[in-house]
Amino acid sequence: MKPKHLSLLILTLLVVAAPFFFPSGFYYRIGALIFINAIAVTGLVILIGYAGQISLGHAGFAGIGAYACALAPEHLGLPPVAAILLGAALSAALAWLVGRPILRLHGYYLGVATLGLGILISMVLSNEAQWTGGPDGIAVPDLGLRGLLRDLGWRVGAGELWYGLAGLVMILGAWLALNLFDSPTGRALRALHGSEVAARTMGIDVARHKLHAFVVSAVYASVSGSLLALMNRLITPDVAGFMHSVQMVTMAVLGGVGSVLGAIFGATILTALPQLLTVFHQYEHMVLGLVMILVMIFLPDGLLPSLMKRLRGRDGE
Amino acid sequence: MNTHKTLALAALLAALGAPAAMAQIRIGATVAETGPAGALGDPEAKTLRLLVEQINAAGGVLGEPLELVLYDDGGDPNNARTFATRLVEHDEVVAIIGGTTTGTSLAIRSVAEEEEIPFISLAGGIEIIDPVQPFTFKTPHTDRMACEKIFEDMQAQGIARIGMISGTDGFGASMRNQCLAVAETYGITVAADESYAPGDADMVPQLTNIRNTEGLQAVLNPGFGAGPAIVTRNYRQLGIELPLYQSHGVAGQAYIDLSGAENAEGVRLPGTALLIADQLAEDDIQRAAVIAYRDAYVGRYNEPVSTFGGYAHDALAILVDAITRNGEAEPDPADLRDAIEATSGLVGTTGIYSFTAEDHLGLDLSAFRLLEIRTGGWTQVQ
Q: DSSP letters along B110-163, please?
A: HHHHHHT--EEE----GGGTSS--TTEEE-SPPHHHHHHHHHHHHHHHT--EEE
Q: Where are the beta strands (DSSP E) in A226-274?
A: 234-235
Distance from CA of A169 to the nearest CA of B (A): 20
The answer, for A105 touching chain B at a CB cutoff of 8 Å, is no
Say if residue B20's pLDDT is above 70. Answer: no
Q: Cβ of B114 under 8 Å from any chain A Cβ?
A: yes
Q: How confident is the model over B118-146, as a mean pLDDT?
A: 91
- Among B82, B133, B193, B196, most A C-beta atoms within 10 A, so best to mutate, is B82
Q: Among A29, A233, A236, whose Cβ lies nearest the Cβ of B110?
A: A233
pLDDT attached to residue B36: 77
Cβ-nearest to A232 among B15, B107, B173: B107
Q: Under an 8 A CB cutoff, do A234 and B127 touch? A: no
Distance CA B290, CA B276 (A): 9
Q: Which pLDDT score, from 0 to 100, does residue B237 have?
A: 94
Predicted confidence at residue A85, as pLDDT, reads: 96
| pLDDT classification of B13: cutoffs 50, 70, 90 | very low
Quote the pLDDT of residue B24: 86
Residues A135 and A117: their CA atoms lie apart, in Å, by 19
Q: Quick check: helix, strand or coil at residue B218?
A: strand
In eight-state DSSP terms, residue B283 is T
In the Cβ-directed half-sphere of A17, how many Cα atoms lie within 13 Å? Answer: 6
Percent of chain A with pLDDT over 70: 96
Q: What is the pLDDT of residue B239?
A: 93
Q: Compute the radius of gyration of chain A from its Cα atoms.
A: 19
- Across the interface, whether the CB atoms of B89 and A158 are under 8 A apart is answered no
Q: Report residue B163: phi and psi, to 5°.
A: -110, 145
Mean pLDDT of B58-83: 91
Evaluated on CA atoms B341, B342, B344, B347, the torsion sign reads negative
pLDDT at B245 over 60: yes
A217 and A55 in contact (C-beta within 8 Å)?
yes
Q: How confident is the model at residue B200 (pLDDT cuts 50, 70, 90)?
A: confident
What mean pLDDT is predicted for residues B63-87? 92
Q: What is the pLDDT of residue A304?
A: 82
pLDDT number for residue B1: 41
pLDDT band (50, 70, 90) for residue B109: very high
Compute the average pLDDT of residues A34-54.
94
Q: Is A202 within 8 Å of chain B by CB?
A: no
Nearest Cα residue in chain B from A225: B78
Most confident of A59-73, A269-283, A303-317, B195-209: A59-73
The answer to whether residues B215 and B240 touch, using CB atoms and an 8 Å cutoff, is no
Say yes or no: B49 contacts chain A, CB-CB below 8 A.
Answer: no
> CB count, 10 Å around CB of A316?
10
What is the rounded distance in angstroms from the CA atom of residue B268 to the CA atom of residue B276?
Answer: 14
Q: Note whether A214 and A93 are within 8 A (CB).
A: no
Distance separating alpha carbons of residues B42 and B304, to the nearest angstrom: 13
What pLDDT score was predicted for residue B8? 52
pLDDT tens-digit series, residues B22-43: 468 999 999 998 887 888 899 9
Mean pLDDT of A2-7: 86
- Percent of chain B past pLDDT 70, that is, above it, reads 94
- Residue B21: is its pLDDT beyond 50? no
pLDDT mean over B100-112: 91
- Say yes or no to pLDDT of A157 above 60: yes
The amino acid sitting at A199 is A
Section B205-224 average pLDDT: 93
Q: Do B89 and A129 touch (CB under 8 A)?
A: no
Q: Counting Cβ atoms within 10 Å, is residue B68 exposed (0-12), middle (13-18) or buried (19+)? A: buried
User: Considering only CB atoms, which chain A residues are within 8 Å of B107?
Assistant: 137, 232, 234
Contact between B354 and B360 under an 8 Å Cβ cutoff? The reply is no
Judged by a CB distance cut-off of 8 A, whether residue B89 touches chain A is yes
Distance CA A275, CA B72 (A): 11
Q: Could B12 and A281 be called an inter-chain contact, meaning their C-beta atoms sit closer than 8 Å?
A: no
Question: Which of the given ranges, A132-136, A140-144, A152-156, B337-341, has the highest pLDDT on average?
Answer: B337-341
Cβ–Cβ of B82/A275 closer than 8 Å? yes
DSSP string, B339-358: HHHT--SEE-SS-EE---SS
| Partners of residue B103 in chain A, C-beta under 8 Å | 135-137, 234, 236, 238
Burial B176-205 (b: 16+ CB within 10 A, else e): bbbbeebbeebebebbbbbbbebebeebee
What pTM value is reported for the model? 0.84
Cα–Cα distance measured from residue B360 to residue B132, given in angstroms and rounded to the nearest whole number: 7
- Fold observed for domain B18-142+290-367: Rossmann fold (3.40.50)
Return the number of CB contacts < 8 Å for A and B.
85
Residue B274, CB half-sphere, CA atoms under 13 Å: how many? 31
A residues 274-293 near B, CB within 8 Å? 274-276, 278-279, 281-282
d(CA A241, CA B79): 14
Inter-residue contact B94 to B104 (CB < 8 Å):
no
Residues on chain B touching A24 (C-beta within 8 angstroms): 89-90
Length of chain B equals: 382
pLDDT given at position A307: 80
Distance between CA atoms of residues A3 and A25, nearest Å: 33
Contact A135/B170, CB-based, under 8 Å? Answer: yes
Q: Where in chain B is the domain with CATH 3.40.50.2300?
A: 18-142+290-367, 143-277+369-380
pLDDT tops 80 at residue B170: no
Sort out which chain B residues have CB atoms less than 8 A from A135's CB and list them: 103, 168-170, 173
Contact B343, B355 (CB under 8 A): yes
A295-316 pLDDT, tens digit per residue, is: 888 888 888 888 888 777 654 4
Beta-sheet strands, E only, within chain A: 138-139, 234-235
Who contacts B291 (Cβ-Cβ below 8 Å, separation ≥6)? Answer: B277, B278, B280
Residues of B in contact with A162 (CB under 8 A): none
Q: Coil, helix or strand for A309?
A: helix
pLDDT at A261 > cutoff 50 = yes
Segments making up each domain of chain A, as ranges: 27-241
Cβ <8 Å between A276 and B15: yes
Q: What is the pLDDT of residue B281?
A: 86
Q: Which residues on A lie below 8 Å from B200 (Cβ)?
A: none
Higher-pLDDT residue of B365 and A168 is A168
Residue A190, number of CB atoms within 10 A of its CB: 16
Task: Report d(CA B337, CA B318) in Å as an integer.
Answer: 11
Cα–Cα distance, B86 to B80 (Å, whole number): 10
Q: Are A70 and A194 in contact (CB under 8 A)?
A: no
Which helix (H) or strand (E) segment holds residue B317: the answer is helix B307-326
pLDDT of residue B19: 42
Q: Given CB atoms, is B131 within the 8 Å cutoff of chain A?
A: no
Q: Tell whether A157 lies on the interface with B, counting CB pairs under 8 A.
A: no
Of A218 and A310, the one with more pLDDT? A218
- Helix or strand (DSSP H, E) at B166: strand B161-167
Question: How far apart, in Å, are the Cα atoms of A135 and each of A65, A147, B140, B294?
Answer: 17, 30, 19, 32
Say how many C-beta atoms besides its own lie within 10 A of residue A153's C-beta. Answer: 6
pLDDT tens digits for A70-101? 999 989 999 999 999 999 999 999 999 999 99
Smallest Cβ–Cβ distance between A238 and the set B12, B76, B114 belongs to B76
> Which of A124, A136, A273 is the best substitution to test chain B (most B C-beta atoms within 10 A)?
A136
Calpha distance B202→A44 (Å, rounded): 38
C-alpha B185: how far from chain center:
26
Backbone angles phi, psi at A284, to 5 degrees: -55, -50
Tell me the one-letter amino acid at A142: D
Judged by a CB distance cut-off of 8 A, whether residue B161 touches chain A is no
> What whole-number distance in Å separates Cα of residue A43 and Cα of residue A271?
17
Residues 6+ apart with CB under 8 A from A264: A11, A38, A41, A42, A170, A174, A255
Contact in structure between A140 and A230 (CB atoms under 8 Å): yes
| Least-confidence region, from A238-247, B49-58, B90-99, B236-245 | A238-247
Element (H, E) at B97: strand B95-98
Helices (H) and strands (E) in chain A, counts: 15, 2
Q: Does B307 touch chain A (CB under 8 A)?
A: no
Looking at this protein, which amino acid is placed at residue A288?
Answer: L
Nearest partner of A67 among A3, A7, A122, A148, judged by Cα: A122
DSSP conformation class of B373: E
Residue B23: predicted pLDDT:
61
CA dihedral A45, A50, A51, A56 (to 10 degrees): 20
Half-sphere exposure of B88 (CA within 13 A, CB side): 25
Interface test with A, best of B69, B78, B177 (most A CBs within 10 A): B78
pLDDT cut 90: percent of chain B above it: 64
Evaluate whether ipTM surpasses 0.90: no
Of A273, A154, A120, A187, the residue nearest B8 (C-alpha): A273
Q: Would the pLDDT of A280 be above 80?
A: no
Name the CATH superfamily housing domain B143-277+369-380. Response regulator (3.40.50.2300)
**CA B97: distance to chain centroid?**
12
Average pLDDT, stretch B325-341?
91
On whether the CB atoms of residues A59 and A238 are closer than 8 A, the answer is: no
pLDDT at position A314, please?
56
Confidence check: pLDDT of A219 > 60? yes
